[in-house]
Structure 1
Amino acid sequence: MLERFIHDIKNIIAEHHALFGPLDEPYHTILHLTDGGRGGLEHTNSQTSMVPRTSLQPGHVEDYRDLVSLFSHEYVHQWNVKRLRPKLFLDYDLQREINTDLLWWFEGATSWIGDIMCLRSGAWSAEDYFADMKRKLKRHHTRSGSSCQALCEASHEAWIHLYRSHAYSRETQISYYLEGELTMFALDAELRKRSKGENGVCDLMKTLYDKHNIYVEDRSKRGVQYNDIRKALTSLTGGRRLGSFLDDVTKEAGNLDLSRAFSIFGLDYKPSDEPKRKQGTESVVWEHFAQGWLGVHVRSQGNKLKVTSHMQHSPVREHLQVGDEIVSVDAIRVTNAEQLKSTLKGKVGSTARVMFARNSVMHDAVLDVALEPNYPTVTTSNGNRLWKSTIRSRQVDSA
């Protein structure tokens, strides 16, 4: 697996260089293999990343996919963060807070381009890309913060909110990584539609890098502000009328139209098919197999299953509070999320008696069991010529 990883990252690096041009300095990757921890940090000309050791063990497809994505993400930062920065970050004053509204660009756009590079280089297959997209879409749909918080606001408040989450974070806040990436997906679609496939977000980043990196001769041009991104976008072929689009999706909440973006790329975006089950020659009522849903996020702490937050449209919001321990469902003990799902299966449209503890006091309640929402997701990986222009390798162009 290590040999495969080396082969894949060489191709990813070549794809990055085809877009931005090669770097003059040598680059080092320090990879820590852990029991389960995951994260990465970019440095000038290097990265330090940690992933579960299963990432380099045969058979762990999702872990390996994530490893490749993490490497590519941190490598994009050589251009988009280390050399292209918010203007406010050119000279750090470590004695005070310095906020930026642009983390949706410096992390969200990095995530978008990082994963596209995995696909362009062949390190990811189309199946890899869309499996990961489905995961991201599920996160997007099960959090309601996107209707409450705009990307610029989420970025500005990262200093105090991102790393100090609270019980209602999922309902009131967004991740500028995730929502920023999905917004760049939508922006890429709009830009490619108007430019007939000539330009995308990667070209926008290259334009910004060329004009505003920390080494440009004109010091006044170093670093970017929001208006620099907007101006660069509207200067591209196809981007002339996209300034207001950028304003809408970054400065206001709830304006991201993913359905339109998928449609532009010729990708199906719809709820997955309802289960169709048969038993012998007799059709079985599908509700008997449907997944019941309480609309809560839970986490196992020791042998206790704690409510950590509510999902959008949760049917038990008035009964279960964040911090409650769910003890049993219909007299069946539950200690993890899978057990909870199992006890709710086939109970859609009925009720369940839930025993729970709150502040060490036992309670019970008869709760309505809803049908697990069938959120829209991407259901095809073919796409049209605009999608193919997005994922096309540029190594031939740079040869």
Structure 2
Amino acid sequence: MPEAVHYRVSMLRPHSHLFEVEATFPAGPDVLDAVLPVWTPGSYLVREFARQVQDMSASGPGGEPLAVQRVDKRAWRVQAKGRAVTLRYRVYANELTVRTSHLDGSHGYFNGATLFLYTEATRGLEHLVTLEAPADWKAFAALERRGEAFVAQDYDELVDSPFEVGPHTPLTFTAAGVPHEVVVWGDAVPDEARLCSDLQRICEAQARMYGGLPMRRYLFLLYLTDKGRGGLEHKASTSLLFPRAGLQNSRGWEDLLTLAAHEYFHLWNIKRVKPRALVPFDYAQENYTSLLWAFEGGTSYYDNVFVLRAGLMSDSRYLTRLGETLSALHATPGRKTQTLAEASLVSWVKHYRPDEHSPNSAISYYLKGEVVAALLDLELRRATDNARGLDDLMRLLWQRYGDESGVPEEGVEAAASEVAGKDLGAFFDRAVRSTEELDYSVFSHVGLEVRFRPRESSSDKGGSPPPRVKGEPKPKGWLGVTTKGSATIATVLDGSPAQEAGLYVDDELVALDGWRLDAAGLLSRTEDKSPGDTVRLTVFRRDRLVEVPVTLGQKPADAVWLARVDKPTDAQKAAYQAWLGAPWEEPG
């Protein structure tokens, strides 16, 4: 049996934020090039993890020192002359995100891509990890144990298995016959029993769709922080970052469940059924695919669906959340500039590197992908008289590509047409390969229609009808900016009155018509005006006081909600129930 690669990770000085690592590579080539990934799967951005590596040294099998040379941003070279080589180095870890690593007096968390050097020659060997940690700390990872060592069958499995080490007591439950653990850092969950029960129901709902689970155990790592939200999927685990204050209300709890459902669904959709462009992972550079909309946006569609199917969300609440997603899409001018396929392809330089102009030039493949997945589900149901839907497409992809051979770029469209029993090229041309507005007429199949209205306030996310008022509402003035801080312009929306008048990002708003204002006042006072009115905005621009006259436009109707048709047919009611699993209820 070939020798394994061995790592020892020490965190005995946690206040330094430095993981101390030993990596021992078995005897092999005369020249050993040890490298670190520049990105981690699931997060499509080159993050240059090697920038945090320091104090590199090398030795031979007898402990004799060997010269080590830095050859580029991610590689170290040793003249091994066929001998085993041990590299010793330290990695600075003080960034608590699901994609990076963090070490302090409370715990140690690390993603393998940030810590573990590898060689192409040994990438397919077993990789063993042992840990040195404070006496009361315990280690958690989805990897199997062999004595004191965690065992990965190859480097890809190692990178796909984050570690959490600390004084934690895990929560446990069983779903679909598979043991699950939940490890929480940062604060206590208000209701641990409820969390386990809710997660169990979501996991079992997903297992029912696929006919079982694809792993022997699963690990949820939950990080409760003061701010931030995100998740990163792995083959038998996930890392979730969530604001602790959100767990104090029903909306926040619902958001946590949808986040967990999203990452869990990735067990199938991208961890095993994945774009062929990611097979195998190239850790040295970007891996391009136009299919991220299907794997991330499609998963975003299912995260709400599975909370609904688990009985933890009502169908009316689901429609509200889908309406909020539609509202976010229509508040983004970039949907008219960037196609969904391009958004997937260039995620490396657009989605993960947003700037003040991003709302005008780009669209999120998560956001629009979720809407397109919903439309595709309904399109499949309409084409097959409700006999098949998106579930059938996902199961077909699982059957065909669950061996991790990879889905070709045209594979999702081809499989969807197969499920529909007809060519869906026109649907994909419009929804994925063009910047045309999406065709929402398919909602009529389930007795719904998409409606638009102006937003009532800056906190209005859409998803619900406008409040009932007597008479026609007065049109509201519109400036077309978003703000940050107290009253600084963060984005000037494309085609807005603000852009036409010459307001700029980073202009600090001081007064409107000579009266001081802040961000809240800006919105209310412009909305009190009528479209066509001219206002005088006083701003600080690079410390110079500037006055800019702006002729206001009409506030756009970009808040969206899904309304039930007035006289649904029996077929529409049946299709609605088949889609959401709930009987049609007449609007009150």
TM category (shorter chain) comes to 0.7 to 0.9
- Tell me which residue corresponds to 2:450: 269
Cα 1:366/1:335, change in 2 over 3 Å: same
- Tell me which residue corresponds to 1:31: 222
Work out which of the residue numbers 126, 149, 154 in structure 1 matches 2:338: 149
Which structure features the higher share of helix residues? 1
Cα 1:64/1:96, change in 2 over 3 Å: same
- SS of equivalent residue, structure 1 residue 211: helix
Provide the C-alpha distance between the structure 2 equivalents of 1:25 and 1:345, rounded to a whole number of angstroms: 57
Work out which of the residue numbers 478, 486, 492 in structure 2 matches 1:293: 478
1:203 aligns with 2:385: no
1:232 aligns with 2:415: yes
- Tell me which residue corresponds to 2:127: none
- Tell me which residue corresponds to 2:373: 184
- Tell me which residue corresponds to 1:329: 512
- CA radius of gyration, larger in: 2
Structure-to-structure mapping, 1:1-399, within 5 angstroms: 2=191, 3-23=193-213, 24-57=215-248, 60-214=249-403, 222-236=405-419, 238-258=420-440, 260-272=441-453, 277=469, 286-287=473-474, 291-300=476-485, 303=486, 305-318=487-500, 319-336=502-519, 338-349=520-531, 350-375=533-558, 377-380=560-563, 384-392=573-581
2:315, 2:580 within 8 Å by CA — same for their partners in 1? no
The percent identity for this pair of structures is 31
Q: 1:320-345: CA deviations, max 9, x gaps?
A: 11222222223343333x33222223
Cα offset for 1:239? 3.9
- Tell me which residue corresponds to 2:13: none
Cα 1:99/1:362, change in 2 over 3 Å: same
Provide the C-alpha distance between the structure 2 equivalents of 1:209 and 1:40, rounded to a whole number of angstroms: 23
Give the TM-score, by structure 1 length.
0.86
Q: 1:210-264: CA deviations, max 9, x gaps?
A: 110136xxxxxx210122212211221x342213322332122225212x13223
Provide the C-alpha distance between the structure 2 equivalents of 1:306 and 1:384, rounded to a whole number of angstroms: 49
Provide the C-alpha distance between the structure 1 equivalents of 2:343 and 2:242, rounded to a whole number of angstroms: 26
Q: 1:258-316: CA deviations, max 9, x gaps?
A: 2x1322321131124666656xxxx8x843xx54321112211xx4x222223354122
Provide the C-alpha distance between the structure 2 equivalents of 1:378 and 1:55, rounded to a whole number of angstroms: 24
Paired residue type of 1:187: L
Give the TM-score, by structure 2 length.
0.60
2:293, 2:340 within 8 Å by CA — same for their partners in 1? yes
Q: 1:173-192: CA deviations, max 9, x gaps?
A: 11000011111111111111
Paired residue type of 1:141: H
Paired residue type of 2:436: G
Cα offset for 1:384? 3.2
- SS of equivalent residue, structure 1 residue 251: coil
- SS of equivalent residue, structure 2 residue 271: coil
- Tell me which residue corresponds to 2:14: none
Which structure features the higher share of strand residues? 2
2:534, 2:551 within 8 Å by CA — same for their partners in 1? yes
Provide the C-alpha distance between the structure 2 equivalents of 1:332 and 1:198, rounded to a whole number of angstroms: 62
1:306, 1:324 within 8 Å by CA — same for their partners in 2? yes
Cα 1:84/1:316, change in 2 over 3 Å: same
Q: How many residues in Structure 1 have an aligned counterpart in Structure 2? A: 372
1:154, 1:175 within 8 Å by CA — same for their partners in 2? yes
Provide the C-alpha distance between the structure 2 equivalents of 1:286 and 1:235, rounded to a whole number of angstroms: 48
Structure 1 runs not aligned, ≥5 long:
216-221, 394-399
Higher alpha-carbon deviation: 180-189 or 121-130 = 121-130
Cα 1:12/1:28, change in 2 over 3 Å: same
Paired residue type of 2:240: S
- Tell me which residue corresponds to 1:397: none
- Tell me which residue corresponds to 1:218: none
Provide the C-alpha distance between the structure 1 equivalents of 2:322 and 2:203, rounded to a whole number of angstroms: 22
Provide the C-alpha distance between the structure 1 equivalents of 2:313 and 2:417, rounded to a whole number of angstroms: 31
Higher alpha-carbon deviation: 85-94 or 73-82 = 85-94
Higher alpha-carbon deviation: 324-333 or 120-129 = 324-333
1:185, 1:261 within 8 Å by CA — same for their partners in 2? no
- SS of equivalent residue, structure 2 residue 497: coil
2:451, 2:563 within 8 Å by CA — same for their partners in 1? no
Provide the C-alpha distance between the structure 2 equivalents of 1:205 and 1:276, rounded to a whole number of angstroms: 41
Provide the C-alpha distance between the structure 1 equivalents of 2:388 and 2:468, rounded to a whole number of angstroms: 43
1:84, 1:209 within 8 Å by CA — same for their partners in 2? yes
- SS of equivalent residue, structure 1 residue 149: coil
Cα 1:274/1:182, change in 2 over 3 Å: closer
Paired residue type of 2:481: V
